[in-house]
Amino acid sequence: MSGHSSILPSEEAFEDFKKQCLATENWLNKYDSNGMQVWIEMPADRGNNSPKVHKIKCKMAIKDVSAATMYDVIHDGQYRKKWDPNMLDSYDIARLSDNADVGYYSWRCPKPIKNRDVVTLRSWRVKDDEYTIINFSVKHPDHPPQSNLVRAVSLLTGYFIKATGPNSCTFTYLSQADPKGSLPKWVVNKASQVLAPRVLKSVHKAGQNYPEWKQQNSPDVKPWLHPEQSNICMMDPTKLSLQRADSLENVDESSKVDTQDGEDSS
């Protein structure tokens, strides 16, 4: 695809993300309890070219919150400050289109590991009873890596939310992200499998509490549904480029973790 919007996800990108969220072939189930499942992708080609950082998928059956509400929860940056205990900072940098923006997010890591941040392009789509949000890391000329944080990389992260009733849905989170630094990849993969269910439980609780909170906090303002409400400045997408993991400096954290297990642990 050519033109000024080439970095923006196409319809094919959304369809491919949906396909990955629904797929079971080449995915290994690592957790299945109380309506929640965690899977890791097992590439058909397990050779040297297979990625060291797992692609992880977490699926949750929600019986008491609508798909539309869960979609609002993921979008609402003001509300995230209320329910995300790991967040250090988060803000929108610029709009790229009616359904895409670029933003910044930083989060706390357990000491003595350094805290992380990302700059990502986020795009979203609502189609019938399906709600999709995807993001990936980009380079922004005015937001380079900071010395006090490790710049992580989202290769592909997103949410696929499908209504199963007027007040119920399936909520799928899929991510392949490299936290960078020099953490052994087995540590990254293990941590992802443990943390993902905790995060989704927090998101579910946030969904339960969102309608009451939103009623008291600009209930009619939802720029992700009504782009004319946005007061974020527009930006030319051509000023952004993909952030690749291998172009970022690795910060030595090898002394911070117990590396008694091998990198191939899973």
Positions in the chain short of pLDDT 50:
1-5, 254-266
pLDDT score recorded for residue 254: 46
pLDDT score recorded for residue 195: 75
pLDDT score recorded for residue 113: 80
- Give the global pTM: 0.86
pLDDT score recorded for residue 265: 39
pLDDT score recorded for residue 226: 96
pLDDT score recorded for residue 197: 82
pLDDT score recorded for residue 192: 66
Q: Phi-psi category of 166—alpha, beta or left, where left has phi over 0 and alpha has psi -120 to 50?
A: alpha
pLDDT score recorded for residue 15: 97
Q: In angstroms, rounded to a whole number, what is the distance separating the alpha carbons of residues 133 and 14?
A: 8
Q: Which tokens hold the place of 134?
A: 């995807």
